Structure 1
């Protein structure tokens, strides 16, 4: 592939610190309750997918100049290749990723603030796209959201690579926090918004806490993807969960 910054592949740019291992640490945080698209051995990561929305539906600001899909694909492919070779997250330095991808470190830093942001972008790109909510009712929107959780759970279960990455993420609080803020929280916001609409439209009781209701709906999917990773994720599960919980949420006479 062509060089994007005119430098020699793998050569550190001036004034750059080449020591950038992922900070080690311990954390009691559990892994995320959603999976990603399957990547079998030898497969390459697909191009960047849809980004999570920020407040008001606006996409978060991107760092640096406009992205080059060719550069991003080379970088993502390099990371996937290193992970499939068994390289742990702690040894995935920006310098090593750039050298493997055949680009300069400055090319990566123009696009990502650091390794955590880069890895989160990779994980987001290989996950199924965000669901398109039907908008016909709050119930239908919640079914669509839970169905996307079920699909992510299946994808993570069927991908040894993604399962390994998520397992390692539990030991790196900074990476997990970045993933939670940019991927998990926007999805939870969609769920809370759907619950809020249901309350406003009189579909469910107004005396319940929105966050609590959202937890009631998502808990069965999280149970079967995190606590019981071998639990059934059969088709129709999302609708079954919403309808079962919905009975207890309806306004009282």
Structure 2
């Protein structure tokens, strides 16, 4: 197989942010960056969404509350912008095999889990976003669905190539791959993410029971 070939993954375009039109005086880039930085800093310090008030954000950013409200209708609209902004782009996939692509995807999740602010975002997504429907919907549409589609296409490519069995439930397999990373990042604090071999271990442990006949060890 050509190891220089990269996988071609088709993902839906990100939906536009559900943020109300911004009116008033011309936007100040410096003030906006200060507000973003303040929210990110407060996020890494921990706490809940309820504790992340406009008053605290304004004080941390060194701006007045009116400066924030000129740009965002409410805290939820601001957090939509911040959370989407914090998400790093997905890494390019090597395309050498579905197995290798899955390892890259899981390693991306592992590295996100090691970042303090990314871990906070994951905790918010799983625990607190139910209280902010617009925030939850936007994050789900722009981040969760997009990444799930990337993984699903990798799995289906593996099935088509004979790497995986043809009777696999691709959605279930994706959940089985993602689950250990989410548990370690959000639930099990005593299960580390700092082992760079963890993604390969997870993928290979599953694939031992999922490989197609042509890819079994010792097959002609």
Which of the numbers 19, 27, 37 marks the counterpart of 1:77?
Answer: 37
Aligned to 1:242: 203
In the aligned structure 2, how far is the partner of 1:163 from the partner of 1:218?
15
SS where residue 71 of structure 2 aligns?
helix
Give every structure 1 segment of 4 or more consecutive aligned residues whose post-TM-superposition deviation is greater than 6 Å: 84-87
Which residues of 2 match residues 3-152 of structure 1 at below 5 A?
A: 56-62=11-17, 63=19, 64=21, 70-83=30-43, 88-94=48-54, 97=57, 100=61, 102=63, 103-109=67-73, 114-152=74-112
Give TM-score scaled by structure 2 length. Answer: 0.69
Contact residue 145 and residue 191 of structure 1 kept, 8 A: yes
State how many pairs are aligned.
190
Q: Is 1:171 matched up with 2:158?
A: no
SS where residue 90 of structure 1 aligns?
coil
Which of the numbers 196, 201, 205 marks the counterpart of 2:165?
Answer: 205
Structure 1 residue 104: Cα displacement: 4.8
Structure 1 residue 247: Cα displacement: 1.9
* Larger RCO, structures 1/2 (Cα 8 Å, 6+ apart): 1
Unaligned segments of structure 2, at least 5 residues: 1-9, 215-220
Contact residue 95 and residue 105 of structure 1 kept, 8 A: no
Structure 1 residue 229: Cα displacement: 2.3
Aligned to 2:142: 182
Unaligned segments of structure 1, at least 5 residues: 1-54
In the aligned structure 1, how far is the partner of 2:181 from the partner of 2:46?
29
Name the structure with the higher helix share.
2
**Is the alpha carbon distance of 1:131 and 1:162 closer, same or farther for their aligned partners in structure 2, counting shifts above 3 Å?**
closer
Structure 1 residue 128: Cα displacement: 4.2
Give TM-score scaled by structure 1 length. Answer: 0.61
In the aligned structure 2, how far is the partner of 1:124 from the partner of 1:237?
27
User: Which moved further from structure 2: 99-108 or 189-198?
Assistant: 99-108
Report the aligned-residue RMSD.
3.3
